[in-house]
Amino acid sequence: MNDVGQFQADVEAEIPEVRLASHPHQLREARTMEFADFQSVVLQNLSYAFTKPNIMDAKLGTVLYEPGAAEEKKARMEKQARETTIGSTGLRLTGCQVSSHARTTPSMADGQTWHAPSQTFMSTPKSFGKSIKVEEMPSGMIRFFPSPTDEVQSLVLPPTPPASASTTEDKTPIPTIGGEVPPNTEEVTLLEGIYKDHAIPAKTMLRVLALIDKQLSDLETVLQSLEMRFVGASVLIVYEGDLTRLDDALAQWESKIHEEDPLKPVEAEDDEDMIESESEDESEDDLDGTKEDEKMAKECPPVIVKMIDFAHTWIAEGQGVDEGVLKGLATLRSLIRGRKAELEALA
């Protein structure tokens, strides 16, 4: 083997295997698999169980660099913190690259909310969160948790609607410029279209927000007990955008609630357990397309809230909790509660 070949072999030997676990079957298999000679990074697709996943990524923390960062990076990150909402609130509404459906071609949207009348996702790019001021942050809550009467400005070109939707004669057209559909180009940053007539009623959205706030509260309680630093970490929030499946998921979730606490799930039955519980006795070979769709409808949780992005996380024993991250969580909970108050006035 020549020197180049040996170098490539040595590098490949140092890289852990990366395994993507989308379905609960695959996740359980990955968890129980024993790796004798190598390590694996197991990635879970949190949007898999959803039909129309509405996804928001909220960046947490007031410090955006590690202690050993170069002075140039420190200065750049401090400038970014000052010029965005994260410096003063510990929170910046960002996004993630997501699929418009768990089993379709991924779109490059930064954050998305399903808009049933146009059969497209309302996309919110990273530039939105970086450009808004603190007093404008509630507008991000409206984009992600719209009521039927809200009018939401289109910021980026929406994904191409599915073929079945494009042939529906009475379908509300996607946002246009001058009466014509704009070209499919990433350079489009602001369209004239307005998303309105959102499908999820205010009362249903209030149930979603109550679940999210409860899970954020649980996360906050855990972080208040940890002496760790979470540079670059985020909270990922996903909820079902299809009204029928959302209603079913909420009903299934609420049927498992303790009588003494109307927001507390049954012990040991969290959102992940709920996804997996119906799958124990069936293998993927037993699922054709129809059965899988039916199974997905039963397994779909109404809401998933997870803390993600731990590449720059470390134990900080004796240094106390991460105040910046807790500040960001408090800001996010305040925004959620503010949105709840607005919807309660409509319900």
User: Which residue bears the tokens 């509300």?
Assistant: 172
Cα angle at 239 between 277 and 199, to 5 degrees? 125
| Residue 193 confidence class, pLDDT cut points 50, 70, 90 | confident
The reported pLDDT for the residue numbered 124 is: 84
Q: What is the pTM of this model?
A: 0.72
| Residue 254 confidence class, pLDDT cut points 50, 70, 90 | confident
Min mean pLDDT across 20-24, 45-49, 183-187, 198-202 is at 183-187
| Residue 29 confidence class, pLDDT cut points 50, 70, 90 | low
The reported pLDDT for the residue numbered 46 is: 85
The reported pLDDT for the residue numbered 11 is: 37
The reported pLDDT for the residue numbered 189 is: 40
The reported pLDDT for the residue numbered 165 is: 44
How far is 163 from 167, CA to CA, in rounded Å?
7
Residue range 145-160: mean pLDDT, rounded: 78
Q: For residues 331 and 89, is the Cβ–Cβ distance under 8 A?
A: yes
The reported pLDDT for the residue numbered 65 is: 93
**Helices in 93-155 by DSSP H: which ranges?**
126-131, 138-144
The reported pLDDT for the residue numbered 113 is: 84
Q: Which two tokens stand for residue 231?
A: 């540079």
How far is 51 from 240, CA to CA, in rounded Å?
7
User: Which residues are within 8 A (CB) of 37 and not within 5 positions of it... i.e. 6 or more apart?
Assistant: none
Q: Which of 51, 75, 25 has its CA nearest to residue 282? A: 25
Selected residue with higher pLDDT from 183 and 48: 48
How far is 150 from 144, CA to CA, in rounded Å?
11
Q: Which of 56, 132, 144 has its CA nearest to residue 89? A: 132
Of the ranges 86-100, 139-153, 215-229, 295-309, which is most confident?
215-229
Residue range 169-178: mean pLDDT, rounded: 38
The reported pLDDT for the residue numbered 153 is: 85
How far is 142 from 137, CA to CA, in rounded Å?
9
The reported pLDDT for the residue numbered 292 is: 62
Selected residue with higher pLDDT from 271 and 60: 60
Measured in degrees and rounded to the nearest 5, phi and psi for residue 6 equal: -65, -40
Q: Is the pLDDT assigned to residue 96 strictly greater than 50?
A: no
The reported pLDDT for the residue numbered 266 is: 39
| Residue 108 confidence class, pLDDT cut points 50, 70, 90 | very low
The reported pLDDT for the residue numbered 219 is: 97
> In the Cβ-directed half-sphere of 129, how many Cα atoms lie within 13 Å?
26
Q: Is the pLDDT assigned to residue 320 strictly greater than 60?
A: yes
| Residue 117 confidence class, pLDDT cut points 50, 70, 90 | confident
Residue range 23-37: mean pLDDT, rounded: 55
Burial 218-240 (b: 16+ CB within 10 A, else e): ebeeebeeeebbbbbbbbbbbbb
- Local structure of residue 120 (DSSP, 8 states): E
Q: Is the pLDDT assigned to residue 110 strictly greater than 80?
A: no
How far is 175 from 119, CA to CA, in rounded Å?
11
- Share the mean pLDDT of the chain: 75
